[in-house]
Amino acid sequence: MFRPTPQGPLTRIRMASTFLGRPVYEVSAYAFADLLIDSGPPQRAAQLVEWCRGGPVRRVVLTHHHEDHVGGATALQEELGLPILAPVGAVPILAEGLRIPLYRRAVWRSPRRFRAEPLGPVLEGEGYRLRVIPTPGHAFSHICLFDEERRWLFSGDLYVHERVRYLRRIESLRDHIDSLRKVLALEPELLICDHAGILENAAGRLARKIGWWEDLGGKARELRDQGISMDEITKRLLGREGLLAWLSLGDFSHRNLIRELLRS
């Protein structure tokens, strides 16, 4: 699936990989002014190049190094000569090539390595000025882009959903919550998320997301203090592990979330 949808000055480009002809796991990139923010999964790279060809996009900006956001970068660089800007921490990883677990390679395929330029603290162009806000947690390299004048927050994978119930093994929840607080303090109005789309009332949503994890953490600590095991706490608060935990061999799981909540 490849579906560009204009919404005012933004175009949301919805992409999904397909399995037996059905879309699975959707992710978006955004075109804004001369920028393309994130670049979808490797499977959709050819369509993204065709869409960008002859259009206003002159630069590609990546919010973090995950394969479903950097997948179009190599082709856009090679075929259209577009410069790629990435968070400082992501540049060496992207140059070396990502090592990703098999279950994710199967969904997305592996992106080819490419050379990106490190993002500075501000990204400016005709009609926009975006602050680059380091927001580690979901990935250590993660950044958000904040348009102070419009109060828009390009949030990559920082938000995704108000009530995220899974966590990858490698993610740091403490950093993630600190990052949510950091962007909440900027008082954004529009949240431009790579999974949930373009959402009004950004600050309220970010605050509710922090609240969900904090409440869950409080309940988990209460149960732990009663001597209840982590597996039992997980089951009581989030239910049984679903298909995702099974398919990812436990990389994405409820248990990872509870473990991280008890740590923070």
Would you say 147 or 157 has its CB closer to Zn ion? 157
Q: Give which of 23, 25, 5, 21 is closest to 13, Cα–Cα.
A: 5
- Residue matched to tokens 């109005």: 189
Task: Decide if residue 260 touches Zn ion (CB under 5 A).
Answer: no
Least Cβ distance, residue 17 to Zn ion (angstroms) = 15
Q: Please state the closest distance from residue 18 (CB atom) to Zn ion, in A.
A: 20
- Nearest CB to Zn ion, comparing residues 46 and 170: 170
Could you tell me the smallest distance in angstroms from the CB atom of residue 202 to Zn ion? 19
| Cβ-contact 140, 89 below 8 angstroms | yes
In the numeric block, which tokens belong to residue 2? 């490849």
Helix (H) or strand (E) holding 196, with range, is none
Site for Zn ion in 98-127 (CB under 5 A): none
| Count of chain residues binding Zn ion (CB under 5 A) | 2
Give the Cα separation of 217 and 194 in Å (integer): 26
- Residue with smaller CB distance to Zn ion, 230 or 245: 245
Per CB under 5 A, 171 contacts Zn ion: no
Q: What are phi and psi of 78, to 5 degrees?
A: -70, -45
Residue list 12-51, contact with Zn ion (CB under 5 A):
none
Please report how close the Cβ of residue 129 comes to Zn ion at its closest, in angstroms.
Answer: 25
Work out how close the CB of 90 gets to Zn ion at its nearest, in angstroms, rounded to a whole number: 11
Asked whether position 175 contacts Zn ion by CB under 5 A, the answer is: no
Q: Residue 54 burial (CB < 10 Å; 0-12/13-18/19+)?
A: exposed
Choices 13-21, 58-66, 72-80, 85-93; region in contact with Zn ion by CB under 5 A: 58-66
Q: How far is the CB of 142 from Zn ion (least distance, A)?
A: 7
Sign (positive or negative) of CA dihedral 236, 157, 170, 66: positive
Distance CA 28, CA 193 (A): 8
Residue 24 φ then ψ, to 5° = -125, 140
Residue whose beta carbon is closest to Zn ion: 66
Pick 47 or 63: Cβ nearer Zn ion: 63
Residue from 12, 44, 66, 254 that binds Zn ion (CB under 5 A)?
66
C-alpha triplet 159, 163, 168: angle, nearest 5°: 70
For residue 251, the minimal CB distance to Zn ion (Å) is: 13
> Do residues 38 and 90 lie in contact, with contact meaning Cβ atoms separated by under 8 Å?
no
What tokens appear for 192 in the block?
């431009």
Q: To the nearest whole angstrom, how small is the minimum distance from the Cβ of residue 27 to Zn ion?
A: 9
Q: Is 176 in the site for Zn ion (CB under 5 A)?
A: no
Our CA angle for 49, 52, 55, nearest 5°, is: 155
Site string (140-159) toward Zn ion, x via CB under 5 A: -----------------x--
Site for Zn ion contains 65 (CB under 5 A): no
Contact residues: Zn ion, CB under 5 A: 66, 157
